[in-house]
Structure 1
Amino acid sequence: MKHGFSLIEILVVIVILGVLAGIGAPKLMGFTEKTKEKADLMKLYYLRDALNKALISSGEALYNSPYLSKGDDSTNIKNRDKLKQYLEKESGVTLFVIEMKGGASMNVQASHGSANNSANMCDLIGDAGTWYDALNEAHFEGVADIVAFRQQTGNNGGIKKDVEKNGKSHSTFTVKEDGSNWRTYPNTPMFMSRELNYGKAAGLDKITSQGNNKTNYRLTMSVQWTGGKEGSHSVEVALLPNGAKMRNKSNGRGGAFLTDNGVCFSTYGDIGCADYKY
């Protein structure tokens, strides 16, 4: 005689499956996010490789930027010396800024006072030259246009006037209202992972790199001569919190961004995040 399952047996199986799903789902989601973060990390390597490829062709490649040739001789020399100095600094040279804010989309900025601003040279990107070409080769489409837009419009008032005149949609990026502020982000997503689109899920009250700001934080796309030495003829790339170092010259450790899943956003490898503080 065949017997079916009793209601109690079915309920027990449902409960067990529910428990297993509750255990497995978070792990699966964590694995998925870590995979996305590693894919995002590869874009830093693409940028590094694009710059290093240019350096193989010409040792002066990093000085190939309209910004370094548009002024008079004394101004150009001053800017070249500044770039040389920044590329050797422990924090490297800042190309652009990424702002993270819970519940809001990523915000790309040219510069910000709370984002390694003392080493910012976003002007290097321009619309041609090594830096512009490297960003596009590494699939950071729209970033150069955002930087130019931010420099042209200046503050929130300038952006508002531009939006009223030209609208919010541009060919490569979008402008979005955020209270009294504005957010700008590429139409082609720059990153895949949640942490590099919307920031960390929790713990913003523990942020130390933004002073009294407990609602958001900023990371800079930073570039440094490998080991801080021009003689290396190569560069490294990292996403740095405000005030962080790409590489401490005394111990080789860096403070680049480290995700909750343990992915280090530095082409120096894990040592590039050894001093990360959140």
Structure 2
Amino acid sequence: MLMQKQDNKKHGFTLIELMVVITVMGIISAVAVPNIFGMVEKSREKVDLLKLYYLREALNRALIEDESALFNSAFVKTGDKAQENLEKLKKALKSESGVQLFIVEVRPDLPTNVQGKHSSVTANSEMSSLVGNSGTWYNALKESGFNGVADILIARTNNDWKKDGETYYSVPYNNNSDYRTFPKEPMFISRELNKGKSSGLDGITSQGSGSKANKTNYRLTMSVQWSGRNEHSHSVEVALLPNGGKLSTANGEGSALLSEHGVCFSTYGDIGCKNYKY
């Protein structure tokens, strides 16, 4: 009887096969991992965008109850400049830039900074004093999750912002010569609205030109405009605008912030970022 010849050959992978597999896995990882992180970041940006819609809806609900709700502020009702401020507000709501409620200053090495005004930002429609500590604007910020912003604006107006408040932090930097104020409850969760468009200072698009160019940070304004710039619409739109940006121009196009992942921070939708640049 013939004995069956035993096959002693061992089954496994050769070194070349292993190298091929590792190489292929590396290529797949190089393509897939950034895409996964990009998808996660885009989702975070969309969550941040929702807060602009929440702010818009809060203001629009107030307008349904009272069509003059946007003028419910001590800033335009009391004081020697009340009438002047009221006219300025009416003009700003119809302007291409809208009403600049507050400024968000972003840079990669420090916390996001909330300001009421800044010399580098177009100030013809900046009206952070509108918010105050009560009324339509104040309530809308609270309802839409911008807790602490109103308190920061008040503290800055009263020159009392170089210390922590109940709803915000005040952090010294630059050898204690400057302070950054930001809510204890974070306003945004995306990298772009917390650290900017680059992980390094040199990668941030400059603001301004020539000797006044600022390459370490950039500022965005939370701005509000009558829908279609028509005061009879009795509704508003909201956007985060780069310095000099527009919510909506005569042809309906705007220049709101457009993220690296294609998210347009305007309640007008994609047309609100048609002319985006920084």
TM-score, L = length of structure 1 = 0.89
Q: Could you tell me how far apart the structure 2 residues matched to 1:18 and 1:181 are?
A: 46
Residue in structure 2 matched with residue 192 of structure 1 by the alignment: 189
Q: 1:266 Cα shift?
A: 0.7
Task: Give the unaligned 5+ runs of structure 2.
Answer: 1-6
Structure 1 gap ranges (5+): 164-168
> What is the rounded CA distance, in whole Å, between the counterparts of 1:60 and 1:191 in structure 2?
30
Residue in 2 aligned with 1:125? 131
The CA deviation at 1:204 is: 4.3
Tell me the alpha carbon deviations over residues 153-174 of structure 1, each in whole angstroms, 9 at most, x when there is no partner. 2xxxx65xx43xxxxx332111
Q: 1:71-118 CA deviation, whole Å, 9 max, x = no partner?
A: 15xx32222111111101110010000001122221111111222322
Q: Give the CA deviation at 1:15.
A: 2.8
1:234-245 alignment runs, 5 A limit:
234-245=235-246
Q: 173, 176, 200: which one pairs with 1:178?
A: 173
C-alpha distance in 2, partners of 1:62/1:171? 27
Secondary structure of residue in 2 paired with 1:14: helix
For residue 29 of structure 1, the aligned residue among 37, 56, 59 is 37
Q: Distance in 2 between matches of 1:204 and 1:276?
A: 18
Q: Aligned partners of 2:230, 2:194: CA distance in 1, in Å?
A: 33
Letter in 2 for 1:177: P
SS at match of 2:78: coil
Deviation, 1:3, is 1.6
Give the structure-2-normalised TM-score: 0.89
The answer for the alignment partner of 2:3 in structure 1 is none
Contact 1:208 1:277 in 2 (8 A): no
Give the match for residue 253 of structure 1: 253
Of Structure 1 and Structure 2, the greater helix share is in 1
* CA separation of 1:22 and 1:190: change in aligned 2, threshold 3 A: same
Q: Secondary structure at the match of 2:194?
A: coil
1:137 aligns with 2:143: yes
Q: Secondary structure at the match of 1:119?
A: coil
- In structure 2, distance between residues paired with 1:80 and 1:34: 39
Residue 227 of structure 1 deviates from its aligned partner by: 1.1
Is 1:81 aligned to 2:87, yes or no? yes
Compare CA radii of gyration and give the structure with the larger one: 2
* Partners of 2:16 and 2:129 in 1: CA distance: 70
Q: Distance in 2 between matches of 1:208 and 1:219?
A: 11
- Equivalent AA in structure 2 for residue 122 of structure 1: S
Q: Is the 8 A contact 2:105 2:219 kept in 1?
A: yes
1:271 aligns to what?
271
**Percent identity over paired residues:** 51
Deviations 1:34-81 (A, max 9, x none): 111111111101000100010000011001112222315xx3222211
Q: Which residue of 1 aligns with 2:22?
A: 14
**What secondary structure does 1:90 align onto?**
coil
Alignment of 1:210-225 (within 5 A): 212-225=213-226
CA pair 188-55 structure 1, distance change in 2 beyond 3 A: same
